[in-house]
Amino acid sequence: AQRSSGSPASSNGSQSFAIVSFKWNHVKDPYVITLWVLVASLAKIVFHLSHKVTRVVPESALLIVLGLFLGGIVWAADHIASFTLTPTVFFFYLLPPIVLDAGYFMPNRLFFGNLGSILLYAVIGTVWNAATTGLSLYGVYLTGIMGHLDIGLLDFLLFGSLIAAVDPVAVLAVFEEVHVNEILFIIVFGESLLNDAVTVVLYNVFESFVAIGPEKVTGTECVKGIVSFFVVSLGGTLVGIFFAFLLSLVSRFTKHVRIIEPGFVFIISYLSYLTAEMLSLSSILAITFCGICCQKYVKANISEQSSTTVRYTMKMLASGAETIIFMFLGISAVNPDIWTWNTAFILLTLVFISVYRVLGVVLQTWILNHYRMVQLEIIDQVVMSYGGLRGAVAFALVALLDGNKVGEKNLFVSTTIIVVFFTVIFQGLTIKPLVQWLKVKKTEHREPKLNEKLHGRAFDHILSAIEDISGQIGHNYLRDKWSNFDRRFLSKILMRRSAQKSRDQILNVFHELNLKDAISYVAEGERRGSLAFIRSPSTDNMVNVDFNTPRPSTVESSVSYLLRDKAGPVCLDMQALEQRRKSIRDTEDTVTHHTLQQYLYKPRQEHKHLYSRHEIMHNEDEKQDKEIFHRTMRKRLESFKSTKLGINHPKKLNKIHKRDRGQKRRNSSAIPNGKIPSENPVQDFALKEKDLEFSEPEESNDYETLHLGKGVDFLANVTKQNFTDTPSGIDNPVFSADDDQSVYMKFSPWLSSEDTVVPSQRARVQIPYSPNNFRRLTPFRLSNKSIDSFLQADGPEDRPRSFLPESTHM
Amino acid sequence: LGESTGLPLSALSHPTPVTSDQVEHLHRRFKQLSNDKPTIRKEHFDSIPDLEFNPIRCKIVQAFFDRRNLRQEEDGLVDEINFEDFLTIMSYFRPIEPNMDEEQLQRFRTDKIKFLFHMYDSDHDGIITLQEYRNVVEELLSGNPHLEKGAARSIADGAMLEAAQTCVGPMGPNQVYEGITFDDFLKVGSGGAVAGVLGAHSVAPCA
């Protein structure tokens, strides 16, 4: 307390208390790391500011250049290369997220469908590359062009094995921007992942051979090498599968700890990586297969929010790691200590890896095409050869070499750096124009179509059946057996019960489409300006709308935007709009949208939840949503079905009949509760309208039996000329057809309880119109009974379209 | 080859180009299924154990007896098929040979889609109606025991709607969408999933 200012601690180390001190050494390590990460991320922002640049130059190349630049600065300032990409950091922290991301989002069906090809390229191709490159370099060395080097055959083979492997990080980085068709991508990418086993084995074998010395290499050692390949690869895979099983099992029980659910995915996957590394198996294979095998069960088990969290976190980690890797590749290059230049060696390496890659691809493709249904054409082969990029894995491996045992380590390092730079920068730059020039078939981004999924599924079954009938074991047979096994045993163990029900892919597409429909419908309504969606925190926020005023401008944010963002449950408290005073038809457009509120999303009181780290609210409306979807879909198809079966007329008769019946009862009915400024002429007008439109709840509430397909029963009843209309449950007027009512909103529906069905006029769309076509607008109905009676609302009351308000004077 | 294995000579000169190895194999299989009789009936397919788990088994078996698939002019179903008919059906799924030209490939694909179409269109009127589609989808999804009853129907309805929108576009108030015709089917079903299935997966007989 003696010092009064914020000056740093006194330099004489006295006993006085320092208020503030500068503790650089204390924070140095984490600070520097964080700074670098920040710099890399900022660099990404800067790169993407210019679209022109990023379209041409792949991001990885830009990052390398940036790294070179920064390394130069650091070196100029310090004359020491203080930051390099150490193999430890790379292999333990930077590589796992990338590979996990690849495995977790691997398109499994595509992957396993092409597994044969992938394995061929990965194993045979890598061995071929390594052998040919190493041997050729050795051959050239023997001719003496390279001058004198402290090097032997084994060193060359070692070098060949680490430079031969296609790198997953680089491939991902470049192919992501190129968008080739999925089969091509999966083959190159799968190859880059699976060749790790080969690389690991070859690298370890040759490194130990170099260590023990070439004289002691005997036949048994070679045999051991070959055996170790199988052990390493299969062992790694098994480790991955084991941890995937563990992860899926754990995720089944995490219902009550949803907050840390995403953590399990990362922790257990990382454990698989480390375990494989510990057992000297292929860790990349382990974590890849962990991701591949667990994705289905984990995605089914964990909640929606957790799934999103996992996805985003994984992408963030992977992308961040990739950024750092490339930047540090650049920085590490600025290290004069390691630079050794040998023109022949470097140039020849470049030549050999390119040439042998092309040769290898061509040969293997020729063999493969005899067995593949979908042939790989010349264009595909070009892309595959050209896309065989080397990257950080090679660099890390070469940096890992023991300088004492490998005489020319620096030469190897320099060459590797140049090779990596060349492939990433040059090939990365030119692959996009090349792809475009060759007109490689691109991925077609199409929305999942229900029909396609159904047909695909049907074909799967047909092909399996044909295979069964003809007594063959084929692709489909295997896949079928697997999926049976999976359904009967695996899913029961690994998937949550609730997830088992709804894991059918077709159902997912269906729900997605429903959601999309709902969103586009709402968006359309917004666009038309007849709805003002106000996102209100609670239904207490009732606004008293004055009909005279035009639409309030307090639209916070487009609800469809919110919905699209899947921002969880949104409270849609829709407010009616619109008085276009001019035409009568416009006045018809006064609406409210409790329809949507009723039929799609239950308005949710936003809980004033105290901040809790242990709990989040999760969506309990799933069942309800499902019911609503079923209902709406069924109703939509009624029009379809009805027009097809020609039950239009009986239906109309029904309604008119009912209307007549209804009218007699109505005239004396009281106006339902609600604030209706009766001075408003439109209102009066509307009032008269209202008289005609009261619905007749004539039957009991069929809510419970909704999802048992009552809709069809209804139609069946109608066809029997049964005049007691018995539609099931609440008729979603949005989707009922032939509704020609022209009723206004008579009172503020939002003042009524949540369950009031007050569909908007606009909301009644006749299917199979697309939502863009709101021509046949139908008004909604009101009940003269209490609000609750809306739950018992019956079928749509019909009214001819030409029935305009002004002509209804009852 | 002809008489020694009991193969009817006509099978070898069958218009559909199946290789003789495949014919041999299929003939052996046919005899196995039919208990050495010259024709097969529907019941014979029950002896295939793995077929039991196939949700659309009935429809597939029925497809074997569908006259349209057998390239006969009349309509309806036959009661029994001989080996030649068996071959005809199987030839729809023969593996794609590398020397097929574009036109053959196209025809090949169309044939497969037509097979599927006939399977859906159970009343043989050339149009898949909503009810027929519902039947198919329900059967297709019957393998999943946890599916609710109404879900399959809703899915079929949704798919029908989608087809209507794709093929006919926005419809007028009085337009009726009768059902999916074969052309519509081609349009709707020619999406990626089907193309992938058609292209990548034919049935290759093992040696």
CB contact (8 A) between residue A640 and residue B60: no
Q: Which chain B residue has the Cα nearest residue A631?
A: B154
Residues of B in contact with A712 (CB under 8 A): 153
- How many helices (H) and strands (E) would you count in chain B? 9, 2
For residue A569, say if its preceding peptide bond is cis, omega within 30 degrees of 0: no
Residue A247 burial (CB count, 10 A): 27
Q: Which chain A residue has the Cα nearest residue B190?
A: A452
At B79-134, the pLDDT tens digits run: 777 888 777 777 777 766 656 677 777 787 788 888 888 888 777 777 778 788 88
SS3 A68: helix
Rounded to the nearest 10 degrees, what angle do helices A622-645 and A505-528 cross at? 80
Q: What is the pLDDT at residue A512?
A: 66
Residue A202 has pLDDT above 70, yes or no: yes
Lowest mean pLDDT among A146-155, A187-196, A485-494, B146-155: B146-155
pLDDT category, A247, cuts 50, 70, 90?
Answer: very high
CB contact (8 A) between residue A472 and residue B203: yes
Percent of chain A with pLDDT over 90: 12
Residue A795 has pLDDT above 70, yes or no: no
A325 touches A420 (CB < 8 A): no
Q: Which of B48, B136, B202 sits opposite A469 (nearest CB)?
A: B48
Name every residue whose Cβ is closer than 8 Å to that of residue A90 and which is 6 or more positions away in sequence: A325, A392, A396
User: Average pLDDT, stretch B150-166?
Assistant: 76
CB contact (8 A) between residue B130 and residue A640: yes
The domains of chain B are located at: 19-92, 105-206
CATH class of residue range B105-206: mainly alpha
Q: Which chain B residue has the Cα nearest residue A739?
A: B173
Question: Which residues in A346-374 are b (16+ Cβ under 10 Å) and which e?
Answer: bebbbebbbebbbebbeebbeebbeebbb
pLDDT category, A77, cuts 50, 70, 90?
Answer: confident
B31 touches B50 (CB < 8 A): no
What pTM did the predictor assign?
0.62
Name every residue whose Cβ is closer than 8 Å to that of residue A398 and which is 6 or more positions away in sequence: A159, A162, A409, A412, A413, A416
Nearest-Cα distance to chain A for B76, in Å, is: 20
Residue A641 has pLDDT above 50, yes or no: yes
What CATH architecture applies to the domain A87-438? Up-down Bundle (1.20)
- Site from A111, A446, A462 to mutate, B interface, most B CB atoms within 10 angstroms: A462
SS3 B39: strand
Q: Which of B54, B171, B193 sits opposite A456 (nearest CB)?
A: B193
Q: Which chain A residue has the Cα nearest residue B59?
A: A462
Q: Among residues A99, A567, A482, which one has the least CA distance to residue A304?
A: A567
Measured in degrees and rounded to the nearest 5, phi and psi for residue B55 equal -65, -30
Rama region for B30: left / alpha / beta (φ>0; ψ in -120 to 50; rest) = alpha
Burial class (CB in 10 A: 0-12, 13-18, 19+), A685: middle
Q: Which chain A residue has the Cα nearest residue B147?
A: A501
Where would I find the H helices in B65-181? 83-91, 102-120, 130-140, 149-168
Burial class (CB in 10 A: 0-12, 13-18, 19+), B126: middle
CB contact (8 A) between residue A644 and residue B206: no
Q: Among residues A200, A124, A192, A188, which one has the least CA distance to residue A360?
A: A124
- Joined tokens for residue A334: 């600025």
Q: Which of B29, B57, B177 sits opposite A470 (nearest CB)?
A: B29
Q: Which of A449, A630, A643 sits opposite B162 (nearest CB)?
A: A449
Q: What is the pLDDT at residue B146?
A: 61
Q: Which ipTM value was assigned to this complex?
A: 0.82
SS3 A605: coil
Supply the DSSP string of A733-800, one letter for each residue: TTT-SS--------S-GGGS-TT-----STT---TTS-TT---S-------SS-GGGGGG--SPPP--
Q: Which of B130, B151, B173 sits opposite A641 (nearest CB)?
A: B130
Lowest mean pLDDT among A107-116, A365-374, A389-398: A365-374
* Interface residue B195 vs chain A (CB under 8 A): no
User: Average pLDDT, stretch A511-517?
Assistant: 69
CB contact (8 A) between residue B178 and residue A644: yes
- Joined tokens for residue A469: 């009938």
Between A517 and A378, name the one with better pLDDT.
A378
A274 touches A99 (CB < 8 A): no
Between A85 and A625, name the one with better pLDDT.
A85
Residue A585 has pLDDT above 50, yes or no: no
Q: What is the pLDDT at residue A438?
A: 77
A392 touches A332 (CB < 8 A): no
Q: Among residues A698, A706, A742, A740, which one has the least CA distance to residue A722?
A: A698
A779 touches A588 (CB < 8 A): yes
SS3 A64: helix
Residues of B in contact with A369 (CB under 8 A): 98
* Interface residue B19 vs chain A (CB under 8 A): no
SS (H, E, C) A409-447: HHHHHHHHHHHHHHHHHHHHHHHHHHHHHHCCCECCCCC
Query: How far apart are alpha carbons A613 and A634 in whole angstroms?
Result: 41
At A518-551, the pLDDT tens digits run: 777 677 666 666 544 443 333 333 444 434 434 4
Between A397 and A461, name the one with better pLDDT.
A397
A184 touches A440 (CB < 8 A): yes
Name every residue whose Cβ is closer than 8 Å to that of residue A680 and which is 6 or more positions away in sequence: A547, A548
- Sequence length of chain A is 810
Nearest-Cα distance to chain B for A517, in Å, is: 11
Query: How far apart are alpha carbons A622 and A627 in whole angstroms?
Result: 9
- 8-state DSSP, A656: H
SS3 B121: coil
pLDDT category, A18, cuts 50, 70, 90?
Answer: confident
- Joined tokens for residue A229: 């390949």
Residues of B in contact with A769 (CB under 8 A): 170-171
- 8-state DSSP, B45: G
Q: What is the pLDDT at residue A92?
A: 92
| Run of H or E residues at B80 | strand B80-82
Q: With a CB-CB cutoff of 8 Å, which residues 148-167 of chain B face chain A?
A: 148-151, 153-155, 157-166
At A674-726, the pLDDT tens digits run: 344 333 343 333 333 333 333 333 333 333 333 333 333 333 333 343 333 33
CB contact (8 A) between residue A766 and residue B173: yes
Query: How far apart are alpha carbons A801 and B174 in whole angstroms?
Result: 13
Query: How far apart are alpha carbons A356 and A385 in whole angstroms?
Result: 9
User: Average pLDDT, stretch A172-180?
Assistant: 79
User: What angle is formed at CA A724 by the lines to CA A723 and CA A730, rounded to 5 degrees?
Assistant: 130
User: What angle is formed at CA B175 by the lines to CA B174 and CA B176, rounded to 5 degrees?
Assistant: 120
Between A687 and A213, name the one with better pLDDT.
A213
Query: How far apart are alpha carbons B148 and A608 in whole angstroms?
Result: 35
Q: Which of A514, A706, A768 sits opposite B165 (nearest CB)?
A: A768
Contacts 24+ apart (CB under 8 A), A138-143: A140/A344, A140/A348
Residues of B in contact with A645 (CB under 8 A): none
SS (H, E, C) A162-203: HHHCCCHHHHHHHHHHHCECHHHHHHHHHHHHHHHHHHHHHH
Query: How far apart are alpha carbons A768 and B132 in whole angstroms?
Result: 19
Distances (CA, A) of A190 to A358, A381, A477: 18, 15, 23
Query: How far apart are alpha carbons A424 and B34 in whole angstroms?
Result: 62
Q: Among residues A199, A192, A283, which one has the least CA distance to residue A235?
A: A283
Nearest-Cα distance to chain A for B60, in Å, is: 7
CB contact (8 A) between residue A709 and residue B149: yes
Residue A763 has pLDDT above 60, yes or no: no
Lowest mean pLDDT among A622-626, A652-656, B30-34, B35-39: A652-656
Q: What is the pLDDT at residue A245?
A: 92
Nearest-Cα distance to chain A for B107, in Å, is: 16
Q: With a CB-CB cutoff of 8 Å, which residues 39-78 of chain B face chain A?
A: 45, 48, 50-51, 53-57, 60
At B30-49, the pLDDT tens digits run: 787 777 788 777 777 777 77
Give me the CATH topology for the region B19-92. Answer: Recoverin; domain 1 (1.10.238)
At B181-195, the pLDDT tens digits run: 777 777 766 544 444
A300 touches A255 (CB < 8 A): no
Query: How far apart are alpha carbons A153 and A134 in whole angstroms?
Result: 8
Residue A62 burial (CB count, 10 A): 22
Residue A291 has pLDDT above 70, yes or no: yes
Rg (chain A; Cα; Å) = 35
Residue A274 has pLDDT above 90, yes or no: yes
Query: How far apart are alpha carbons B93 and B12 in whole angstroms?
Result: 17
pLDDT category, A599, cuts 50, 70, 90?
Answer: very low
